[in-house]
Chains A and B, each alone.
Chain A
Amino acid sequence: MTHVLIFGDSHTAAMKRGLVSLREQESVPHGFEVDVIGLGGGQHMLDRFFEVSDGRAVMTHPTFAKRLPVVPIPDGAQRGTVYAWCGLFHFAKAWRDRSWIDFRPSAIPGSRMPLTMGLVTETVLHWLRFQLELLEVVRRTGARVLAVETPRPFHHHWALKRIPAEVIAHVDGHLQDLMVRELARRSIEPVRIPRTCLDDLGFMNPEWRNEVETDEHHGNAAFGALMIRRVCEHLAAHPAGEEPRGESY
């Protein structure tokens, strides 16, 4: 039995609901024990939210600490826990930014001011530095670490009312590629959304949108269940000792 702990930001909620539905349908992939713990919103991860003590990450954010005090978990080594992080692939903070009202990626023609992807890259890596550091800490303990992709932009997101879809798609696509490279450098395995979930521009198909009408960027339980199955399929296809190198599933 492989224990998988899925943890991370608000996108874990869909994973949790997906897990509940999988359990109700007795469809949790065979040979896997899955837990999902949501720490808190990604905006709380812009600042340091943990400290390293005895090689482990001890949560310092009070809410996070109540939900998951320490990573790796105390019996994780004994159980062979695999840690699957949710949070590094959702770049709404970058592509919804008001900058894109006046600016454009240099590669997209137009009258707005061009921005380099170098600037976007630096900014996003700054935002995500503590999340990446957390995973590095866990990785250094010898545990296996995955990064689970979270929903790409949805067409019904409010940002599309003022930012062109191709700008959002370009920024998101650049950052997806960036994150795959950053994870590979850290020997963290990405688990990607199936291409069939996306349209030609790289936006999520609407069937995966959150159950709450006003929520424009989280996935639904079906999406959560889909990604849990993807995680398990990934681990089944690449058992311990046969981890893929620099590839994404």
Chain B
Amino acid sequence: MTAPRHPYRQLDRRSHWRSISESDHPLDIGEWYKRKFELTDLRIGAAGSCFAQHIGRQLRDKGFRYVDVEPAPNLLRPERHAAYGYGIYSARYGNIYTTRQLLQLLLRATGEFEPLEQVWERDGGFVDPFRPTLEPEPMSRLEVNELRADHLARVRKLFRSVDVFVFTLGLTEAWVDARDGAVYPVAPGVSGGSYDSKIHQFVNFDATQVRADLVAFLERARGLNPAMRFILTVSPVPLMATASGQHVAVATMYSKSVLRAVAGAVAEEFEYVDYFPSYEIIASPVMRGQFYNRDMRSVNKAGVEHVMKQFFSQHAPPGDGTSNDEEAVSEQEDAVCDEELLSTFGEPG
């Protein structure tokens, strides 16, 4: 007697929950992700909420053709790169939490949108409202303007040059300027500027809005660069705080659900969009919260490594592409300094 035919019989093992329940250990669960397209030899850019930092860094360190249009100056010691917004993403745009913010970045880069607020005051200086924590200290107004103009030109270059853009969706909540709709990465007053309830409004985007902004971004980006493809992920990092009036855990679940649903739907709809389940790998109940630190918010190193292991199982790293060339001439001059002393003082006794 043969078993009755039904649609689930033909599915592979990973389609059944028993592939999870029968695993000896959550880390043994595999096949989280099947790539839609290859990354071999493709130029890759990255942006998104804070979890996206790990993705970009790992792509770079593993030798992928990771594009950085605003590399750190040699002057700045490596341990301070992140403090100055270098090496975090493919450009110094800081965290991009919402799809509206991403779309507006593109529109600002192409000159289609110029927000009313150009600078925020902070501690006697100024910061860029759209990346107020770019550097530890406030700048002069001239510096903010010069850095922004150069940054947006390089972002435009980034969108024109990358083959694949990885974007990690982070939040649905944002603060906008009611006058022109400009979305800020942080609430006015937190890292510069001052909050004005008549101007600054809280929004919590719904799935329709998130989708519209995301699709508008995809289409405009491909308008600049028709062959561009995308990998979407959702940050597993819960909200630090919510202005929605809901419990932060409830607000987090709303936000992540919307983002996950939209990312999945868009990836289904467009053949040039892939979805990588970093959110599920970290936040799924089968992982029992092991990848969160004690605050149950930040993702630990093991979590990042496990996520990227799943990613690299489908996108094999080409190898270590890092280089570290030294400034030989400066070293030469240092040697000259010793010679100058020796010629006058002689060898110490």
B346 to chain A, nearest CB (A): 10
Binary flags per residue of A30-42, CB closer than 8 Å to B gives 1, else 0: 0000000110111
A137 to chain B, nearest CB (A): 22
Q: Could you jot down 13 A-B contacts, CB within 8 Å? A: A10-B341, A12-B341, A40-B341, A41-B334, A41-B340, A41-B341, A66-B348, A106-B139, A115-B73, A118-B135, A118-B136, A119-B75, A218-B337
What count of chain A residues pass the 8 Å CB interface test?
A: 45
Binary flags per residue of A237-249, CB closer than 8 Å to B gives 1, else 0: 0000000000000
The answer on a CB contact under 8 Å between B80 and A113 is: no
Residue of A42, A97, A119 most packed against chain B (CB within 10 A): A119
Pick the interface stretch among A71-79, A88-96, A180-188, A198-206: A88-96
Q: Choose from A16, A67, A97 the contact partner of B348 (Cβ within 8 Å).
A: A67
Pick the interface stretch among A47-55, A120-128, A225-233: A120-128
For the complex, give the distance between the alpha carbons of A217 and B335 in Å: 13
Q: Is A141's CB within 8 Å of the partner chain B?
A: no
The answer on a CB contact under 8 Å between B75 and A40 is: no
Q: Is B137's CB within 8 Å of the partner chain A?
A: yes
B138 to chain A, nearest CB (A): 8
The answer on a CB contact under 8 Å between B80 and A10 is: no
Query: Given A97-B75, A215-B336, do A13 and B330 touch, yes or no (CB 8 Å)?
Result: no
Q: Is B302's CB within 8 Å of the partner chain A?
A: no
What count of chain B residues pass the 8 Å CB interface test?
A: 35
The answer on a CB contact under 8 Å between A122 and B80 is: yes
Q: Is A116's CB within 8 Å of the partner chain B?
A: yes
For the complex, give the distance between the alpha carbons of A215 and B140 in Å: 37
Q: Choose from A16, A63, A94, A218 the contact partner of B75 (Cβ within 8 Å).
A: A94
Binary flags per residue of A186-220, CB closer than 8 Å to B gives 1, else 0: 00000000000000000000000010101111100
Contacts of A42 in B (CB 8 A): 334, 337
Binary flags per residue of B119-158, CB closer than 8 Å to A gives 1, else 0: 0000000000000000111111011001100100010000
Q: Is A17's CB within 8 Å of the partner chain B?
A: yes
Binary flags per residue of A122-152, CB closer than 8 Å to B gives 1, else 0: 1100100000000000000000000000000
For the complex, give the distance between the alpha carbons of A94 and B75 in Å: 7
For the complex, give the distance between the alpha carbons of A124 and B75 in Å: 9
Which B residues have a C-beta under 8 Å from some C-beta of A? 70, 73-77, 80, 84, 135-140, 142-143, 146-147, 150, 154, 327, 329-330, 333-334, 336-338, 340-341, 343-345, 348-349
The answer on a CB contact under 8 Å between B344 and A99 is: no
For the complex, give the distance between the alpha carbons of A214 and B73 in Å: 28
B347 to chain A, nearest CB (A): 9
Contacts of A99 in B (CB 8 A): 73-76
The answer on a CB contact under 8 Å between B147 and A13 is: no
Contacts of A66 in B (CB 8 A): 348-349
The answer on a CB contact under 8 Å between B344 and A41 is: no
From DSSP, what is the main secondary structure of chain B's interface residues? helix
For the complex, give the distance between the alpha carbons of A17 and B340 in Å: 11
For the complex, give the distance between the alpha carbons of A120 and B344 in Å: 32
The answer on a CB contact under 8 Å between A96 and B330 is: yes
Query: Given A114-B147, A116-B139, A118-B139, do A13 and B75 touch, yes or no (CB 8 Å)?
Result: no
Binary flags per residue of A1-34, CB closer than 8 Å to B gives 1, else 0: 0000000011011001100000000000000000
Q: Choose from A43, A116, A218 the contact partner of B340 (Cβ within 8 Å).
A: A218
The answer on a CB contact under 8 Å between B333 and A13 is: no
- Additional pairs, 14, CB under 8 Å, beyond known A9-B337, A67-B345, A97-B327: A13-B345, A16-B344, A16-B345, A38-B341, A42-B334, A63-B348, A99-B76, A113-B70, A113-B154, A115-B75, A117-B143, A119-B76, A212-B340, A215-B336
The answer on a CB contact under 8 Å between B340 and A120 is: no
Q: Choose from B136, B142, B336 the contact partner of A107 (Cβ within 8 Å).
A: B142
Q: Choose from A17, A93, A216, A218 the contact partner of B330 (Cβ within 8 Å).
A: A93
Contacts of B143 in A (CB 8 A): 106-107, 114, 116-118
The answer on a CB contact under 8 Å between B142 and A106 is: yes
The answer on a CB contact under 8 Å between B330 and A41 is: no
For the complex, give the distance between the alpha carbons of A107 and B345 in Å: 42
Contacts of A102 in B (CB 8 A): 73
A61 to chain B, nearest CB (A): 11
Query: Given A10-B340, A41-B337, A218-B340, do A98 and B147 touch, yes or no (CB 8 Å)?
Result: no
- Among residues of B, the one whose C-beta sits closest to the C-beta of A68 is B348
The answer on a CB contact under 8 Å between A41 and B338 is: yes
Query: Given A113-B70, A114-B146, A117-B143, do A10 and B136 touch, yes or no (CB 8 Å)?
Result: no
B87 to chain A, nearest CB (A): 14
The answer on a CB contact under 8 Å between B344 and A13 is: yes
- Among residues of A, the one whose C-beta sits closest to the C-beta of B69 is A113
The answer on a CB contact under 8 Å between A119 and B333 is: no
The answer on a CB contact under 8 Å between B334 and A43 is: yes
A10 to chain B, nearest CB (A): 4
B106 to chain A, nearest CB (A): 20
